[in-house]
Structure 1
Amino acid sequence: MIRHVVMFRFRDDADEAQRQAVHDAIATMPKATGVTEAYEFGPDLGLAEGNFDFTVVGDFADQEAYLTYRDHPEHQRIVFDIIRPAISDRAAIQFEIP
């Protein structure tokens, strides 16, 4: 099983509509790509200073499934058209889970 974790910081000038658009677009990813085993996402609760603003955690059966998700045309469209214009920083990692 492969776990994918990605975190975003929104741009200072990203308004609520842009933030909501990111949330709404990310919500469509599991159905659009059809390869997720588990998929959770949401905004930071603001419990600690310096946290990222939003995170996505996705589980995939194997490396091939993750790569299918990553390279899926709808995923790429959402990343380039909706997410990137709204964020200033991104961090991600993929690791194997039992």
Structure 2
Amino acid sequence: MTVAHIILLKIKPSVSETQAHDILKAVAHLKEELPGVVESVHLGLNFSARSKGFTHGFTMIFKDKAALETYDKSPEHIRVVTEVIRPNIEDIIAFDYEVEDYSSPRL
């Protein structure tokens, strides 16, 4: 079953717009570095007043949990997280879920 991997970032105030853009570019580039693992990447800046300080976010789509696990353990992903993301953020939220084929989840 398709899996969505959602990440919200609270970028440090000292990080410039260019640096923040470079963080998102590094995340987007993971799709090319991991062909067949990452199906799609959607990313951008927050514009909601309800973001609780989270400024940037992205969603990655994987064909299944195994692909997400491969991504999580990949040296490319680990490098981006440790060298690009972590030094530039105050906080992060990760949320993963299996995507259902209908609009209402089964309860």
CA distance in 2, matches of 1:7, 1:95: 15
The aligned residue for residue 24 of structure 1 is 25
User: Could you tell which deviates more after superposition, 60-69 or 12-21?
Assistant: 12-21
| Percent sequence identity over aligned pairs | 28
Query: What TM-score comes out, normalization by structure 1 length?
Result: 0.89
Question: Contact 1:8–1:90 (CA<8 Å) still a contact in 2?
Answer: yes
Which amino acid is 1:15 matched to? Answer: S
Question: Contact 1:33–1:68 (CA<8 Å) still a contact in 2?
Answer: no
Which amino acid is 1:26 matched to? Answer: V
Deviations 1:46-72 (CA, angstroms, capped at 9, x unpaired): x31535111110111111100111111
The aligned residue for residue 12 of structure 2 is 11
Asked which structure has the greater CA Rg, the reply is 2
CA distance in 2, matches of 1:37, 1:20: 21
Q: How many residues matched?
A: 97
C-alpha deviation, 1:78, in angstroms:
0.7
Where in structure 2 are there 5+ consecutive unaligned residues?
Answer: 101-107
Trace 1:1-98 onto structure 2 (pairs within 5 A): 1-34=2-35, 35-45=37-47, 47-49=48-50, 50-98=52-100
Query: What TM-score comes out, normalization by structure 2 length?
Result: 0.82
Cα RMSD between the aligned structures?
A: 1.4
